[in-house]
Structure 1
């Protein structure tokens, strides 16, 4: 009888524990507030007016205009993006498990230094061995093995003549991406003023998988994804579930680039960049940061001002509110919406040399994509 009583007590404890856990989960889910979520913006009007108002190149990202188009063409996309956002907010609200790729502070693992130069001693000489080339090595030392997620790139180049986009451009762009997403941009001052401690290392490493090239006399490819189809003279995407595809081609109308947010059609998933803004080419927008910006969109990051007024948000807790993009190299502080703008964030529109950081909140949004059940979990080995 005593054993039977103990057995019932144990069963009761288990059932109570399970019930409590279910209540905790239900309670946690009920806290997910989606009332501020939106997908459509005024980007169609805003971006067009910027391009019409100036004859000189300005930072012009057509991602939000592209999103509006895709939403109109794909009736189920809004719901899909809602579900991705819900999952993202659940992920951020909960405790991220240790070892989640790109999973925030404490989320990754730190490997020991590897004896890469073969001298028998794992030391500082083994850090960043030829990782980013002589022009960028001042970002070292960093342990190349610290990365927790590798994203292989498929570079699809549509050029007017063979070699228009050089191998050096390609290598420099990959180097820049690894610097930016590893929080090693040398333009970043030691003193970030009020933003100290907010800047983030994404724990992501980009590698070159393959470069595809075709020649085309087509002057401009526009923004309706024609470059992504061989049937239209472009290059078909390579398995977008495991590779980040980047198309390099003349877009036209002064547009530097555009990307596709998570949830869009798989066959067009990726980033499009004008050749003058891909890698190190010189000029205000010729230092590779357009690709950093567009990959930010591919990682589910909005423009830092939320593509609207002070009440619109980029859904990131540690970026201040603003009512529009910044250009050039703004003076500090630049104040809008009663707060200091984070003009140096990669998701603003300033010159390449004047942007140098992502935030921890932006990293959390990106990390949710690669968590178990996340939209881009297929990239995780």
Structure 2
């Protein structure tokens, strides 16, 4: 298990841009790799550098959020401050489409909301070694509105253009109390989703997801068709890091996740051991790894604490706790 390192993440990560590859963790019959399928990669470091250059105060805001989170993690008496009950998060889905297929249906949008509610509140079957670590986070998502806009853009990058009407996008709806999801067409560099962490500017706050990796029906394509791209990215939006800490045997600032060598792709055969200190079995089914949608199945109790800490005063998502 990892020891907390409060501020190391500021040098490596603030905003995440990810690509990944299809629910229950299958221990004995892993889903085979699909040929010619893109794997999840992350543009987080580049986006971080751009964000820090554009806003020198970002590092300080994130450091203060991280200090609050660390205080809660290490002081059990502060757990009483965490939300007691279910947090309800209203969601606005902003659809930017060039083709009819990209204009995802209301049913597909609802399928994504349903998938999020399942993933954040269900204890799925996992290998016995991780059974006691599973967490039902206690967050529910409700669809508030859908905003649609036709565009001539053939692809989108990670420069937040989709979040700005002046750049052909859609401005966020009250991002201090509404989670904005942008569903877009093709994204450059193989990216299929990215999120802004707590502490970033309100004008660009939310999550971006490619239309063929959104929801569980319609245009959602295997192995991205179980809704886990949004589960993963909203984890970032709620201050979770990648499970490998974006470094070889890195630190995700959570005590109950094992050290990972690096990201895992596809459906690794259990047990998949790390070469990090102690050679732990990697938690490849964690939503914050890069495993296929169908092979993701859990958040940990430590990750739950970290997410819920964002709803405290000063945690970056306090506006959603009222």
TM-score (norm 1): 0.73
How many Å apart are 1:71 and its aligned residue? 1.9
C-alpha contact 2:5 2:251 (8 A) present in aligned 1: no
Aligned to 1:200: 135
In the superposition, relative to structure 1, how do residues 365 and 74 fare at CA in structure 2: closer, same or farther (>3 Å)? Answer: same
2-side partners of 1:321 and 1:227: how far apart?
35
The CA deviation at 1:36 is 5.7
Distance (Å, rounded) in 1 between the aligned partners of 2:81 and 2:71: 18
Report the Cα offset of residue 97 of structure 1. 5.1
SS in 1 for 2:96: strand
Match of 1:177 among 105, 116, 122: 116
Deviation at 1:40, TM superposition (A): 2.5
**Selected match of 2:240 from 301, 305, 312:** 301
SS at match of 1:196: helix
Match of 2:26 in 1: none
**Structure whose alpha-carbon radius of gyration is higher:** 1
**1:17-96 alignment runs, 5 A limit:** 37-41=8-12, 56-94=37-75, 95-96=77-78
Name segments (4+ residues, structure 1) moved above 6 Å.
none
- Unmatched segments (≥5 aa) in structure 1: 1-31, 49-53, 102-107, 110-147
Please give the root-mean-square deviation of Cα atoms over the aligned residues, in Å. 2.4
Q: Name the counterpart of 1:330.
A: 268
The answer (yes or no) to whether the contact 2:240–2:303 under 8 Å persists in 1 is: yes
C-alpha contact (below 8 Å) 1:249/1:273 kept by paired residues: yes
Q: Is 1:252 the equivalent of 2:191?
A: no
Greater relative contact order, per chain length (Cα 8 Å cut-off, separation 6+): 2
In 2, Cα distance between the equivalents of 1:97 and 1:295? Answer: 22
Change (3 A) 1:199 1:68: farther
Partners of 2:238 and 2:200 lie apart in 1 by: 12
Higher helix proportion: 1
Give the secondary structure class of the aligned counterpart of 1:71: helix
Residue equivalent to 1:372: 313
- Cα pair 1:153 1:245 within 8 Å, conserved: yes
Bigger mean CA offset, 164-173 vs 299-308: 164-173
1:218 aligns with 2:153: yes
2:82 pairs with 1:100: yes
